[in-house]
């Protein structure tokens, strides 16, 4: 799939009100594969930090007996980071406002993941 | 050395856009002049904000003066610009080890070694971290944790299993997480060491404010991780019969109980 095709798939996520941007990231090293971000969102930082955080949370989650997470949210006072692995190698990432409809974003991320499969 | 400093300063004065600021900043840092080193490096960073080496240098200057939090931010920025940057991995490995987050320390140091296999300081650091990690994994589970859990979470749903309170160094303070009847609390706690700092850094660097919670949904259940106080981390695990929204409520109640227990223990 080309970069433009990846971008088209993830752009659907950014149409949800309150989503500041979405990207597809290489899970192993946190490099951006494709992105659709609002101005001011630091794509490189989001990609690297999201990949690292998901790996750490994944280890704790597996040790807790619930298995490798298929959806991870980091909630902050001024926003949230939502991630969804797509296969072994890629991670779908969205940055959103704190009051975003998480269920809707999650749905769009699942649809995007299907589109990427 | 003084001659070298003069020469580098002169070269930088002739061409302020030059990357010679990296050598000058490093030389000043090694000479024990952190303020001068920081000035030179920040000026260079202003001109070259996407240069990973400059963020790494500034991080080391900050670490020298004890500002480890900002050093961590700078190394994270360096990695976001150059994911295989050996210096940044070495620095973050050092920070992770200080926080007793041995798994993250090992990961960063192994990547640092891959970047420069001849660096003896990384080889030695890896040896130290591996030994500390093995010692922790061999430690017997804290039998007092269950008693503490009854005090901290008594009356709460899942007080006997599924709530774990850990300190920033990854040690269990109260609670139990059993998998197949075997308590995995020590292992989960070890994985959580440094998670609070990483979540805080991630939230800060990407504009999410202060982090309040992490929710992870897995095939066999969900975990909710939150800091009831700045010096503690609470993990709540429930199976898939408990929806994430309900888990949030359970986690908030458990966090209130943990805060009260920690305040009581501090008296």
Please tell me whether the interface predicted TM-score (ipTM) of this complex is above 0.90: yes
Contacts of B206 in chain A (CB under 8 A): 41-42, 45-46, 49, 79, 81, 95
Q: Residue range B203-214: average pLDDT?
A: 92
- pLDDT score for A96: 95
Please give the residue of chain A at the shortest CA–CA distance from B195: A56
* Matching residue, tokens 């009356």: B155
Element (H, E) at B116: none
Residues A45, B76: C-beta atoms closer than 8 Å: yes
Strands of chain B (E only): list them: 163-166, 172-176, 178-179, 182-183, 211-218, 221-226, 233-239
Query: A22 with A7: CB under 8 angstroms?
Result: no
**Average confidence score pLDDT of chain B:** 87
Please give the residue of chain A at the shortest CA–CA distance from B219: A67
**B28 or A36: which leads in pLDDT:** B28
- Pick B209's closest partner by Cβ from A56, A71, A76: A76
- pLDDT score for B242: 86
A18 phi and psi angles, rounded to 5 deg: 95, -10
Quickly count: other Cβ atoms within 10 Å of residue B174's Cβ: 28
* pLDDT at B143 exceeding the cut of 60: no
Question: How crowded is the C-beta side of B166, counted as CA atoms within 13 Å?
Answer: 31
**B215 or B116: which leads in pLDDT:** B215
- pLDDT score for B142: 52
DSSP output for B164-184: EEE-TTS-EEEEE-EETTEE-
Query: B235 with B221: CB under 8 angstroms?
Result: no
Residues B237, A66: C-beta atoms closer than 8 Å: yes
Angle at which helix B52-64 crosses helix B34-47, to 10 degrees, equals 160
Contacts of B194 in chain A (CB under 8 A): 56
- The contacts found for B6-15 with CB under 8 angstroms, 24 or more apart, are B12/B40
| CB contact set of A16 (below 8 Å; sequence gap of 6+) | A96, A100, A101, A104, A105, A108
**Mutation for B interface: A74, A99, A101, A103, most B CBs within 10 A:** A74
Contacts of A42 in chain B (CB under 8 A): 80, 205-207
User: Over the stretch B149-206, which tens digit does the pLDDT of each residue have?
Assistant: 667 777 777 777 899 999 878 888 888 898 888 888 888 998 888 788 888 888 988 8
Count A/B contacts: CB-CB distance under 8 Å: 159
DSSP structural state of residue B252 = H
**B54 or A38: which leads in pLDDT:** B54
- pLDDT score for B63: 92
Bridge partners of B215, per DSSP, are A73, B224
- Pick A42's closest partner by Cβ from B187, B192, B206: B206
Residues of A with CB under 8 A from a CB of B: 29-31, 40-42, 44-50, 52-53, 56-81, 95, 98
- Pick A45's closest partner by Cβ from B77, B188, B191: B77
Give SS3 for A19.
strand
Rounded CA-CA distance B221/B239 in Å is: 4
Alpha-carbon Rg of chain B, whole angstroms? Answer: 22
Contacts of A99 in chain B (CB under 8 A): none
Please give the residue of chain B at the shortest CA–CA distance from A68: B218
Rounded CA-CA distance A35/A32 in Å is: 7
Residues B216, A41: C-beta atoms closer than 8 Å: no
- Pick A63's closest partner by Cβ from B180, B191, B198: B191
């Amino acid at each position: 799939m080309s970069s433009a095709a990846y971008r088209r798939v993830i752009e659907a996520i950014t149409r949800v009100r309150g989503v500041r941007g979405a990207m597809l990231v290489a899970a192993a090293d946190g490099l951006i594969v494709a992105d659709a971000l609002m101005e001011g969102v630091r794509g490189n930082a989001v990609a690297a930090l999201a990949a690292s955080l998901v790996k750490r949370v994944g280890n704790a989650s597996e040790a807790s007996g619930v298995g490798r997470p298929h959806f991870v949210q980091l909630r902050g006072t001024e926003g949230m980071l939502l991630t969804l692995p797509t296969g072994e190698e890629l991670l779908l990432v969205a940055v959103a406002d704190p009051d975003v409809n998480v269920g809707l974003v999650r749905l769009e991320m699942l649809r995007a993941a299907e589109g990427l499969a | 050395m003084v001659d070298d400093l003069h020469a580098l300063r002169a070269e930088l004065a002739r061409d302020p856009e030059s990357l010679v600021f990296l050598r000058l900043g490093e030389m000043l840092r090694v000479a024990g002049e952190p303020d001068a080193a920081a000035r030179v490096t920040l000026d260079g960073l202003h001109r070259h904000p996407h240069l990973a080496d400059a963020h790494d240098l500034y991080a080391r200057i900050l670490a020298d003066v004890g500002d480890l939090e900002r050093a961590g931010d700078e190394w994270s920025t360096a990695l976001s610009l150059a994911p295989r940057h050996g210096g940044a991995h070495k620095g973050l490995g050092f920070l992770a080890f200080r926080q007793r987050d041995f798994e993250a320390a090992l990961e960063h140091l192994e990547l640092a070694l891959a970047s420069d296999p001849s660096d003896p300081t990384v080889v030695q650091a890896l040896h130290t971290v591996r030994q500390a990690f093995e010692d922790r994994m061999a430690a017997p589970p804290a039998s007092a944790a269950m008693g503490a859990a009854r005090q901290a979470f008594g009356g709460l749903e899942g007080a006997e299993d599924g709530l774990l309170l850990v300190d920033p160094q990854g040690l269990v303070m109260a609670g139990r997480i059993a998998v197949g009847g075997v308590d995995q609390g020590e292992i989960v706690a070890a994985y959580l060491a440094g998670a609070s700092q990483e979540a805080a850094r991630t939230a800060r660097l990407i504009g999410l404010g202060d982090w309040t919670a992490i929710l992870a949904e897995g095939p066999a259940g969900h975990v909710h991780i939150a800091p009831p106080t700045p010096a503690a981390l609470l993990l709540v695990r429930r199976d898939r019969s408990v929806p994430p929204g309900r888990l949030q409520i359970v986690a908030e109640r458990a966090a209130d109980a943990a805060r009260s227990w920690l305040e009581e223990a501090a008296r």
